[in-house]
Copies of this chain bind each other. A is one copy, B any other.
Amino acid sequence: MDDLDILIQRIARLPGLGPRSAQRISLHLLKKKEQELVPLQLALAQVIEIVHTCPKCGAFTTEKDLCTICQDFKRDKAHLCVVEDMADLWAIERAHCFRGQYHILGGVLSALDGVGPEELHLAPLIMRCQEEAVEEVILALGATLEGQTTIHYIKAQLTPFSIRVSVLARGMPIGGEVDYLDEGTLNTAFQARLALED
């Protein structure tokens, strides 16, 4: 196997890609060696050298110490949003719906996958709640069995502190059509129906 095959196999292992798309991508990179291949390799090398997890929130960062969000004094420190993963943080940042700080759990409790409380970034969360002036913890976890379990577990851990704990609303997604909703969502949306004011 030559070095080109090694590269294609490496790319094919990436999420969402396979052998065909890896060949297409490799070919694209080879055709544009100076404009695409070299800059990509340099960007990877740079990230390898300086990426680390933010000692406060657990997010990946290429800043010197704390990540940009933890460093940003304009962000509201009273609201702490707990997410499973960096991808969730990015999704919330894209939506521009939250100006507080984050805490990355690094997973959710899952008996099936053998993820217990020790595997999660939980102790630092409790510590932040004790030490920082946190007024509300928003548990922005998935509306899945594992997400719910994790929500109940964290809620119990936070009970000793006088902190408001909230979860994201459940209901119809915006743009959703009733006949396409699954039964679970329809059920929740009915139970949590909102009275229209006059």
Contact residues of A with B, CB < 8 Å? Answer: 2-4, 6-7, 10-11, 13-17, 21, 23-25, 27-30, 33, 36-41, 43-48, 50-51, 60-63, 68, 85-87, 90
Contacts and interface: CB of A to CB of B under 8 A. Distances in A.
Among all A-B residue pairs, the 4 with the closest Cβ atoms: A41-B44, A3-B62, A7-B43, A10-B43
24 contacts: A2-B63, A3-B46, A3-B47, A4-B47, A4-B51, A4-B61, A4-B62, A7-B43, A7-B46, A7-B47, A10-B36, A10-B40, A10-B43, A11-B40, A13-B36, A16-B17, A23-B87, A27-B86, A27-B87, A33-B51, A37-B48, A41-B44, A44-B44, A45-B45
A14 B6 contact: no
Given A23-B87, A50-B3, A62-B4, A28 B14 contact: yes
- Secondary structure at the A interface, as helix, strand, loop or mixed, is helix
A86 B28 CA distance: 10
B10 A16 contact: no
Contacts of A47: 3-4, 7, 29-30, 37
Contacts of A7: 43-44, 46-47
A63 B5 CA distance: 12
A142 to B, nearest CB: 16
A180 B163 CA distance: 61
A90 to B, nearest CB: 6
A6 B40 CA distance: 9
A44 B45 CA distance: 10
Contacts of A86: 27, 30
Contact of A6 (B3, B10, B24, B43): B43
Contact of A41 (B25, B45, B87): B45
